Amino acid sequence: MTERFRRLSTPRTAMIAAVACLVLTTCSPAVSTLTVDGVAARGAGGPLRSQSVPVTADPDAPGAVPASRTVDPPDLPTQGAGQGETAPVSGGDAAAAGDFEEVAVQTPTLRLDGVPLERETILQEVLGIEGVAFATALTIGQVDIASKDVVTAVRVAAVDPAGFRVLTPQVTADAVEVWQRISEGDAAFLHDVGHRLELELGQRLPAANRTTLRVGALASNGAPPVADAIVSSDTGEELGLEGTRSVLISVAGDSSAGDVAERVEQAIGMVPEVLEQPTEQRAFLSGAAARNAFEPFNYVSFGDGMIQIDSAWVRRNIVRAEVPILRGAVVCHRLLIPQLRGALQEIKDRGLADLIDPTQYGGCWVPRHILFNADRGLSMHAWGLAADFNVSTNGYGATPQMDPRIVEIFDRWGFVWGGRWGTPDGMHFELGAILQ
């Protein structure tokens, strides 16, 4: 090995250095480190920097990356935290789960905008065109909502839940609870909108002509998104939603989008837009040691701060596991689990468990960009390599309230604490070293 070893003087010094990639440690926690390529000031992505490049078809082309390695798959979680979060049902008759059976999603390929309301048979006309696999109609307009005493205009799409579901990302289509909430009259907001407006699941927002609009779910609705929030057609009417009527169309696999677009124009006299398809990206951790330890993955960004990761990578790397103190199973990267379990066990053994509120656990694997901002890099949560604790008292940018003894223990178990960053994130602990 060409990397050098150095002795650490104290446990805490193990994770304070801001390195550009993973630090591998050997022997006992925080005894020695194996440094890897280079040192850099901490950016928004943390000491473990996640980078992305477009996926290219030619393996010899500039910027191309090698295929993923294969390992035995661990248990697969059904979905990551943050992908289709829903509020509990409160009153009324919940839609039965059987009302939303499993679907194979299709990708929207064409869009008709400005469809006149009098064209009531537009879907039947479109579905009768050769090469059209599926179509659904929606109305998009603006609705004023009030949150935190601030009125904000948001773009809302009124949809037929059963039809629109087919043309959403698979992770959203699979989240039956999202469609139940929409059918019951709630709204499903995009993740970045929910983050920006500080919305809470179950919150009732003063909205338009309606007394309140309930935040029933946070979920991606397209790539790119069709609107800031989606509601049922009935709820749209109650809101007095006025806007553009559109039709989304998926094209059969053996048909050309351009050819079908021409047939649609000839048949109904309207020119459909050919939608640009999302670009698949390749994410990896910088530094030779980090790239050897952590398999890179392919993903598609939904445009609302969330991403869809290659399901084979998820099966190989993301697991459910029981850990001390927290209730139920956590969903994290398989290499994080031993150290998370070790840190929490030490906290428990030292009689400090009451300093971690299990009801304020903020999750581990959340496939998203930093701060749910699609223009920023991927969060370490996208890798399942970070966990958030005591979220209500350790908000991003606020003065951290985490007990120093908790921080010390996580330091010793190879974690980096976000409370030390220029903009503190006191709830956040991310993996900075693998302990052998």
Q: Give the pLDDT confidence of 228-268 residue by residue, as tens digits.
A: 999 999 999 999 998 889 999 999 989 999 999 999 999 99
Encoding tokens for residue 116? 């006149």
Give the C-alpha separation, 355 to 341, whole Å: 16
pLDDT band for position 290 (50/70/90)?
confident
Encoding tokens for residue 225? 């998104």
Exposed (0-12), middle (13-18) or buried (19+): which is 83, by Cβ within 10 Å? buried
Residue among 172, 137, 176, 173 nearest 157 (CA): 137
Residue given tokens 């979680």 in the structure block: 77
Encoding tokens for residue 227? 């609107």
DSSP, res 253: T
Encoding tokens for residue 24? 């591998």
For 233-312, list the strands marked E by DSSP: 243-251, 273-274, 281-285, 297-301, 307-309
- Over the stretch 123-178, which tens digit does the pLDDT of each residue have? 999 999 999 999 999 999 999 999 888 999 999 999 999 999 999 998 899 999 99
**Per-residue exposure over 108-120, b if at least 16 CB sit within 10 Å of its own CB, e if not:** bbbebeebeeeee
Angle formed by the axes of helices 404-412 and 337-349, nearest 10°: 140
φ, ψ at 290 (rounded to 5°): -65, -40
257: helix, strand or coil: helix
